[in-house]
Homo-oligomer: A and B are copies of this chain.
Amino acid sequence: MCELLGMSASVPTDICFSFAGLMRRGGATGPHRDGWGIAFYEGKGYRAFHDSGASANSEIAQFIQGYSIKSNTVICHIRKANRGRICLENTHPFARELWGQTWSFAHNGQLKSIKKWPLEYYFPVGTSDSEYAFCWLLDQLRQEFPTPPKNQKKLWAFVEVQVRQLASLGIFNILMSDSRSLYTYCSHKLAWLTRQAPFGDAQLLDADMTVDFAQETQPDDVVTVIATQPLTSNEQWHPMSKGQFTVFQKGARSYETQK
């Protein structure tokens, strides 16, 4: 299995602290040593860092931990390979353009027989079931909406139906973004936490590291972090329920349904 980390924030925010915790699980405090990746949105702009080695020993991961990239939306993944060999093209998050927006996707789980489903526009570069599922999902979106829908709720509801269909094939915990929204689906394990005023201290579970968010933030900031497992020991994480689909925007839960 793999682990996921996401962020949705009201103002561009760096994720160095949470990232430092997750990276330890990629070969040090956890077994997810088969590659890692992190994607940052800066407005419509998108950049991602990938490495097919263990994050706990990765020089790039080390660099990113010390380099503050301010972003509204972040998706991060550490991999424990099950389907698809260990190589760069099987390393999440995956990205594609639709409607002039960069969509990105990371997945924890596995889907049985997904590769029998037909693809039309988007094709995987690697061999993972995750990238295949992402291509299929974008295909459905493009077929349903040849141009971007003006009504966001219509879009979210359509994504939800596709995601639930994919989830019927197996385990499907995901983070996905189109640069405006962060889509999450919990098939069996995902938790979230919102940091807002009054801000306090946070202590990482995987490293001897504490941060005082009162020193790092403005009073109006709203920052939501989503992770497979809680990353801090002294904050209130909310486990998502099985079958919960939630869309975050600017740190807030904008759309949520249960199975």
Contact = CB atoms under 8 A, between A and B. Distances in A.
A188 B252 CA distance: 51
A201 interface: no
B100 A124 contact: yes
Contacts of A48: 47-48
Nearest to A88: B45
In the complex, the count of this chain's copies comes to: 2
A118 to B, nearest CB: 14
Contacts of A97: 96, 122-123, 125
A99 B87 CA distance: 19
B59 A125 contact: no
- Give chain A's interface residue range (CB within 8 Å of chain B): 20 to 34
Nearest to A47: B50
Given A59-B67, A96-B97, A125 B49 contact: no
A50 B95 CA distance: 15
8 contacts: A44-B126, A45-B126, A59-B67, A97-B125, A99-B123, A100-B123, A100-B124, A101-B125
